[in-house]
């Protein structure tokens, strides 16, 4: 199993507020306009799942499989050229801030791992960038 982790990010909103915002995928409408069309398109979502077309990878659909309030949201792929699990961890820092880390685990053979490690690491950092910029009010 290959594991990719984002850097730990500070978010200036309370842990519970961030968890509520991220655990309902309908809230992705807040960030939909921040995703460049050349990086991803055809974004669709509901409360529990999100689908996006990522050139040149293809369509990826993630479904929330577990919510552990207020600290973890776990996802798994239901459609993807490369099956993986993904989760968001939130830990309180103060009453008005928290920290976040994203983790992705995938079963990659050595050949595939060599080709996708750098793009996966860059991708998880970009997702963390976007989630850190959300206004969670």
Query: What's the pLDDT band for 26 if we cut at 50, 70, 90?
Result: confident
- Higher pLDDT pick, 128 / 33: 128
> How many angstroms separate the CA atoms of 112 and 86, rounded?
18
Alpha carbon 127 to its chain's center: 6
Q: pTM of the predicted model, to two decimals?
A: 0.89
What's the confidence (pLDDT) of residue 70? 97
pLDDT in tens, 40-64: 677 788 999 998 887 777 889 999 9
pLDDT in tens, 78-115: 999 888 999 999 999 999 999 999 999 999 989 989 88
pLDDT at 36 over 80: no
pLDDT at 38 over 70: no
- Higher pLDDT pick, 31 / 114: 114
Contact at 8 Å (CB) between 75 and 85? Answer: yes
């Amino acid at each position: 199993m290959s594991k990719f982790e984002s850097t730990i990010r500070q978010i200036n909103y309370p842990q519970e507020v961030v968890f509520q915002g991220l655990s309902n995928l309908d809230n992705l409408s807040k960030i939909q306009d921040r995703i460049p069309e050349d990086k991803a398109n055809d974004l669709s979502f509901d409360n529990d799942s999100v689908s996006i077309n990522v050139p040149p990878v293809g369509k990826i659909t993630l479904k929330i499989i577990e919510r552990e309030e207020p600290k973890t949201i776990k996802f798994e792929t239901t459609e993807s050229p490369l099956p993986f699990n993904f989760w968001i961890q939130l830990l309180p820092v103060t009453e008005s801030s928290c920290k976040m880390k994203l983790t992705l685990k995938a079963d990659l053979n050595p050949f595939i791992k060599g080709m996708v490690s750098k793009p996966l690491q860059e991708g998880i950092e970009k997702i963390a960038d976007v989630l850190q910029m959300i206004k969670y009010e």
